Amino acid sequence: MSAPSFPELTLSQMLREHALRSPGRTAVRQKDFGIWNPISWKDYFERAADVGHGYRTLGLAAGGHVAVLSENRIEWVLAQLGAGLVGAVTIGVYPTSPASEVAYVLEHADAEVIVCEDQEQVDKVMEVRGQLPLLKRIVVVETKGMRNYPADLVVSFAALEEAGAAHRAQNPGLVEEALAGQSLADTALMIYTSGSTGKPKGAMLTYGNIRAQAVAVIEKLGLGPNTTHLSYLPLCHVAEQMTTLMAPVYLGSQINFGESIRTVQEDLREVAPSMFLGVPRIWEKLHSSIHIRMLETGGVRRRLFEWAYAACEPFAETPRHERTLAEKLRYGVSYLLVFRALQNYVGLRRADVAMTGAAPISPRIVRFFRTIGVRLVEVYGATETSGVALGQKLDRLDPGSVGEPIVDIEARVGDDGELILRGPTVFKGYYKNDEATAATIRDGWLHTGDVVSVTDGQYRIVDRLKDIMITAGGKNLSPSEIENTVKGSPYIKECIVIGEAKKYVSALIQIDYETVGKWAEENRIAYTNFRNLAENPAVRDLIDAEIAEANSQLAQVSHIRRFHLLTKELDHDDDEVTATMKVRRANIQKKYADEIAGLYSAA
């Protein structure tokens, strides 16, 4: 498929184009109280324009900074697109972030207006108000409990739109004037990195970056105007920006917002999207959910699933058009008897393509979904590449690879095996951090910090350059390869490998509470809470067997010899994981130093 041809327009200009060309076509659906409410392209543009004018009434000038602190919903994208229509820049903040992290991002980003979802998020901002000298106003979407907040500081989103509509009537040419002066070189968006090894950095993406990413992801995945998508991953993450705003606004395709992050599985079944993006943790949860369902179904159904899976796994990665007649028949029978119900259960029966990216994933999980008929492709990208930089195609699913470069991106293997990239999706730089920008973009090449290997044009991510471990015996190890092999087990949620300067590899293991809990119930093992379950000798035996299975798939030097079961779940609030659930390795190793020492004492 050749790269799609789109006009040289910014995201904001494309929104206006669709409002003019397809005013009545549905752009967005928002679920409220169980009802999916459609919003046309004309209304999408009109409301965004009202929001943009509303910002001007709050004193936000062109080039000003608007932050959004909310779960995904129509108001999130209206806040962003409204900012774009009047020449402002948007910054996303994770709604799960504690007040201290919110304060850092808002202060560093020079946010003048912040759009908050509800009282909980407003309270975080109010708690750190003294650290935010540039903050002019707080806009709140859900006003429940907000009656006694200062009216000169807090305004409702509805009031913002209303004030914007009045301002627009008095200044009808403002949006047209702003769009006429907008170019692809302008900064559109600032996305803060996860900060797994230090303070988050604000990556500046231009409208040109966004357009180039839209072209690339549409070509790579074969998306079209009739593509549908459920938006649920945080919009302050570049992956969801890519699938909720970048591609749909250029394509004119439809996005759907569910009622809550807690209703994702139900919303998926109702929407049955044609395209789906899941980070590895989502695929792990769906895999565990199916595993629990199989435990609950009992004898005959479970055996039928096991038969169908064993029959179809050998050709899971073979493109459909290359399968033999016998394989097509085998899959057809398995689909009718088992896989169709499972696809309906996870809401992906109509998905033409599904993606996994943002972090490494167990090959076992990927193969599982491909076997049951979910067309899952692995992609690689980063905030600094505006989204996807490498990706598989459906007609070539090499296990363990992340495919080849997207349209217009050059990829090269640099020193120490590091992946370096050049092209129009490479970001503008880090906000207020020229030193980090110069260290990351050198001679026009983006240094990703990821070690890769290349076989027959297909790239494979080995690990982060800084995470490669060297054992006491001088062997180089990839912790993520070991960790993701272990996390292929439905009973293991997290694995943190220890091995730097050690005689052998060990690990801290966090069980999957829901799956292990169901296993315990099936085996009549009583427990009361997470700690009680993790400390049960039978559970340790279960995990021991799962690690032995993982070890059988790894080289001898990578085998986990000893492990410690964590007695609590890793928590963002405890500074153990980032908002995107990336493990803060340094913090973990410091916090669990005694447990790690115990893994090497009396060995």
The answer as to CATH 1.10.275.10 being correct for domain 468-600 is no
Helix, strand, coil shares of the chain as percentages rounded to 5? 45, 20, 35
What percent of the chain has pLDDT above 70? 98
User: Looking at residue 30, what is its pLDDT?
Assistant: 94
The residues that bridge with 192 in the sheet, in sequence order, are 202
9/477 Cα distance (integer angstroms): 46
Tell me if 277-349+351-464 shares its fold with 468-600. Answer: no
467/473 Cα distance (integer angstroms): 17
357/431 Cα distance (integer angstroms): 25
The residues that bridge with 114 in the sheet, in sequence order, are 67, 138
CA 531, 536, 540: angle at the middle one, nearest 5? 105
Please give the single-letter amino acid code of residue 95.
P
For 11-274, CATH gives: 3.40.50.12780
The residues that bridge with 562 in the sheet, in sequence order, are 506
Pick the more confident residue, 584 or 106: 106
Per-residue pLDDT tens over the stretch 63-103 = 999 999 999 999 999 999 999 999 999 999 999 888 999 99
The residues that bridge with 459 in the sheet, in sequence order, are 454
Which of 370, 356, 389, 383 lies closest to 280 in space, CA to CA? 356
Cα–Cα distance list, 122 to 80, 199, 403 (Å): 18, 23, 43
DSSP classification of residue 335: I
Whether 110 contacts 156, CB under 8 Å: no
Q: Is the sign of the CA dihedral 39, 42, 44, 47 positive or negative?
A: negative
Predicted confidence (pLDDT) at residue 372 exceeds the cutoff of 60: yes
| Structure token pair of residue 231 | 């938006």
Whether 390 contacts 411, CB under 8 Å: yes
| Structure token pair of residue 350 | 């109509």
Per-residue pLDDT tens over the stretch 152-198 = 999 999 999 999 999 999 999 999 999 999 999 999 999 998 766 67
Predicted confidence (pLDDT) at residue 602 exceeds the cutoff of 70: no
Which of 402, 332, 405 lies closest to 373 in space, CA to CA? 332
Per-residue pLDDT tens over the stretch 500-515 = 888 889 999 999 999 9
What's the chain's average pLDDT?
Answer: 91
Q: How many CB atoms lie within 10 A of CB 253?
A: 22
Q: Is the sign of the CA dihedral 428, 433, 435, 439 positive or negative?
A: negative
Please give the single-letter amino acid code of residue 334.
S
User: Looking at residue 589, what is its pLDDT?
Assistant: 84
Query: What average pLDDT does the segment 122-138 reach?
Result: 95
User: Looking at residue 590, what is its pLDDT?
Assistant: 87
How would you class 19 by CB atoms within 10 Å of its CB: exposed for 0-12, middle for 13-18, buried for 19 or more?
A: buried
Whether 566 contacts 492, CB under 8 Å: no
Per-residue pLDDT tens over the stretch 194-227 = 766 678 899 999 999 999 999 999 999 999 999 9
User: Looking at residue 357, what is its pLDDT?
Assistant: 81
Q: Name the class of domain 277-349+351-464.
A: alpha beta
Which of 37, 45, 44 lies closest to 16 in space, CA to CA? 45
Which sequence spans correspond to the domains of the chain? 11-274, 277-349+351-464, 468-600
Query: What average pLDDT does the segment 125-136 reach?
Result: 95
- The helix/strand/coil state of 104 is helix
Cα–Cα distance list, 65 to 137, 242, 308, 564 (Å): 12, 20, 54, 46
Whether 457 contacts 396, CB under 8 Å: no
SS3 for 146-164 is CCCCCCCCEEEHHHHHHHH
Q: How confident is the model at residue 350 (pLDDT cuts 50, 70, 90)?
A: very high
Predicted confidence (pLDDT) at residue 139 exceeds the cutoff of 90: yes
Please give the single-letter amino acid code of residue 411.
A
Torsion of CA 376, 381, 385, 386, to 10 degrees: 50
Query: What average pLDDT does the segment 584-592 reach?
Result: 85
